[in-house]
Structure 1
């Protein structure tokens, strides 16, 4: 009995075609782009915290954040200025919430949203800044 055999070159061509199609399909479909939203939000939050932690105060203390957290009275006096300042620091499409020991400014953080967060410790308490895309 004789057995039929495929020529070796035909097997090589078939394997080569499968390999080329696989590579072409990989390029065509690609891989999903990495989610750059979280790292960018973290940068926005950190930058905002850094600016507020190094910016001179409007009235007294050494920095704007220390001025805001020193007492409830100081927070109430500076609440609107802090809200305006953070809004000017961030891009228009980014919302924020700044939590201090004496109160908060900004928009409450909605559930199920990706946020960037920065925390700054001062001598009078901790300030937490959260930012997210509108």
Structure 2
């Protein structure tokens, strides 16, 4: 049982875990032992509430395919158990991130004092640069 929140949990039979061989350097251990975990989770066929499913399917995440299947591969650790817990945690974080509602931005304008400060600093900068010009000797 993968607990998402107080009321929402995913049964383990809905999550497909497969042990595969890791990629990259590691010598004999990598070539012989299947320590990496490939996790597959079908959003549409899951027992998640409907609003969770719609929010997950609308996410723009590279782990979610067009068919609504979450693919996560974990091969960071040397043991299969740690990779399994890592993959499940990443799935949990993905589902939780889909449920976070971003605050709507309220457009603001600078105050009169801020506008005045900005214009004053521009005038000072302009004066400073004007003083850098050629010096003329008119007598």
TM-score interval w.r.t. the shorter chain?
A: under 0.3
Q: TM-score, normalised by structure 1?
A: 0.24
Higher relative contact order (CA 8 A, sep 6+): 1
TM-score by length of 2: 0.23
